[in-house]
Structure 1
């Protein structure tokens, strides 16, 4: 028998006793935005998921094609009648067996979805204040660049932000450089130079990060680079903004006593909506 919140249940309830995603964080995931019946940036999501599965030595089933996963996701969204605008998540976890050493590398997957208010990316320039989260650090390693279900730094950072009246926090790596935000990649504008940390610093290989990097390169007079960002650099910035596939671009308006403009982030948001309109 097992005790689940005070209720005795049969030992053969494997979803509780043997789910490796629950027990060991042995799982990876993708969060997707569906707009007007289409999964945005599907190919990028698919290849990032496949790369993550390979990194942690999961077997990839023969039927796990991009078309198959698209069909599986849209079937959930369609069943809920939220094809116009939705957020979906695919979680892939290693099947039961073993302790730290698994007895199989085969996988199972879970897909769920919820409605979103907007099919496009709505630009928000309301007050959005951040600070550094320094209780825990991100390791400069390959595992940090993929989306595993071990998000304790993000969870404790989110609690810290809530307790301190912040909208978000910026995360540091183990060499004390700025890596990303709690739920998105970071871009910093100084003059005509737009910078985002390289993946070697431990930041997530973000899908929206890639799109914004490419769109920014098309703006005349704007230099776009991957470079290390130190906490001291933040005080010199003209703009700071975050990117993720659900929100798109979220400008930061204040870091400590420093306030920022939002012109480039607003321009990029317009270009982003033009891009998805042509998908």
Structure 2
């Protein structure tokens, strides 16, 4: 028997008592946006998931092809009758058994989906304030660049932001450089130079980050680079914005006493929506 929320239940009911994703954070995940029964950036999500599984030494099933992944995601949204747009997460976890050392490296997965109202990426011109989160730091290592279920730093930063009436926080690495925001990659525009931290600094190798890097290079007069961003440079920026595949672009309008423009953010959102409209 185990006690689950004050109720004694049979241990063989397996309410997470052996689930390695719950016990050790032994899981990786991808969150995708589905529009009109099409997975946006499917190839990028698939290859990042495969790379993540390899990094943590999970055994990739022979049938786990890109077509199989797409089928698993779409079968759920079809079953839920989500026709326009959906936020869908697939979590892959090592199978039950063992302590730190697993019994084997085989995996299971689960998919969760929720409908979203917006088919296109929206551009919201409202105040969006951020500050630095200094309680804990991201380490400059390969594990930081993949999506594991160990996101306790992001959880703590989210609580800090909420307690301080902030919309988001910028996370630092162990060299005290700015790496990313709580739920997305960071871009900084200074003059005609658009900068985002390199993956080697510990930031997530984001799917939307890749798209923005590609799209920004099509904008005349803009130099796009991957460079280290120090906290001191934030005060010099003309624009700051956060990217992720669900939101698209979130412009930052205020950091401490500095306010920022949004023109670059607006232009990139328009380019992203051109891609969506072609689906």
TM-score, normalised via structure 1 length? 0.99
Instruction: Name the residue aligned to 1:132.
Output: 132
Alpha-carbon distance, 1:160 to partner: 0.3
Equivalences for residues 205-244 of structure 1 within 5 A: 205-244=205-244
Alpha-carbon distance, 1:277 to partner: 2.4
CA distance in 2, matches of 1:135, 1:146: 21
Instruction: Name the residue aligned to 1:116.
Output: 116
CA distance in 2, matches of 1:77, 1:136: 37
Instruction: Name the residue aligned to 2:162.
Output: 162
Preserved contact between residue 34 and residue 83 of structure 1 (Cα < 8 Å):
no
Instruction: Name the residue aligned to 2:31.
Output: 31
Instruction: Name the residue aligned to 2:254.
Output: 254
Alpha-carbon distance, 1:13 to partner: 2.4
CA distance in 2, matches of 1:161, 1:85: 29
Preserved contact between residue 21 and residue 149 of structure 1 (Cα < 8 Å):
yes
Alpha-carbon distance, 1:14 to partner: 2.5
CA distance in 2, matches of 1:125, 1:152: 30
Q: What SS class does the counterpart of residue 16 from structure 1 fall into?
A: coil
Preserved contact between residue 131 and residue 170 of structure 1 (Cα < 8 Å):
yes
Deviation track 1:182-212 (CA, whole Å, cap 9, x = no partner) reads 0000000000000000000000000000000
CA distance in 2, matches of 1:241, 1:124: 12
Q: What SS class does the counterpart of residue 62 from structure 2 fall into?
A: coil
Query: How many residues in Structure 1 have an aligned counterpart in Structure 2?
Result: 279
Alpha-carbon distance, 1:276 to partner: 2.4
Q: What SS class does the counterpart of residue 59 from structure 2 fall into?
A: coil
Instruction: Name the residue aligned to 1:89.
Output: 89
Q: Which runs of at least 4 in structure 1 moved beyond 4 Å after TM superposition? A: none
- Where do 5+ consecutive residues of structure 1 fail to align? none
Alpha-carbon distance, 1:167 to partner: 0.3
TM-score, normalised via structure 2 length? 0.99
- Where do 5+ consecutive residues of structure 2 fail to align? none
Asked if 1:45 corresponds to 2:45, the answer is yes
CA distance in 1, matches of 2:243, 2:194: 13
Deviation track 1:248-268 (CA, whole Å, cap 9, x = no partner) reads 000000000100000011001
CA distance in 2, matches of 1:214, 1:278: 17
Instruction: Name the residue aligned to 2:100.
Output: 100
Alpha-carbon distance, 1:278 to partner: 2.7
CA distance in 2, matches of 1:12, 1:182: 37
Alpha-carbon distance, 1:15 to partner: 3.9
Equivalences for residues 180-195 of structure 1 within 5 A: 180-195=180-195
CA distance in 1, matches of 2:131, 2:77: 36
Alpha-carbon distance, 1:81 to partner: 1.2
CA distance in 2, matches of 1:260, 1:243: 16
Instruction: Name the residue aligned to 1:276.
Output: 276
Deviation track 1:84-108 (CA, whole Å, cap 9, x = no partner) reads 1110000000001100000110000
CA distance in 2, matches of 1:117, 1:19: 33
CA distance in 1, matches of 2:15, 2:113: 20
Instruction: Name the residue aligned to 2:10.
Output: 10
